[in-house]
Amino acid sequence: MGQWVQKVRRAEPVKAAPSPATTLAATSRGPATDILAAIVRAAIEAHRDPQAHRQALTREQAERRAIREGLNR
């Protein structure tokens, strides 16, 4: 009986096409981090209510004090 030898062909690596995200990141740059931080900060401050912020801080301080007093009993 003859022996059959099957040749195994090695798989060649397939080069993936660059994704749109990769090519976009490689070709364009966003604003510098300090500029981006300034933009975000300005947007937050534009919608921030200073009085509501002070009230929230006062309420949080009272809640923390109550929790500490409860833990010390």
pLDDT, position 11: 62
Q: Answer whether residue 56 is part of any domain.
A: yes
Q: Answer whether residue 60 is part of any domain.
A: yes
Q: Answer whether residue 38 is part of any domain.
A: no
- Give residue-wise pLDDT tens across range 1-54: 455 555 556 666 666 666 665 555 555 677 788 899 999 999 988 888 989 999
CB atoms near residue 60 (< 10 Å): 10
Terminal CA-to-CA distance of the chain, rounded, Å?
Answer: 92
Can you give the residue range of the structural domain that contains 71?
Answer: 49-73
Q: Answer whether residue 30 is part of any domain.
A: no
pLDDT, position 3: 58
Number of domains present in the structure of the chain: 1
H-only helix segments in the chain: 20-27, 33-46, 50-71
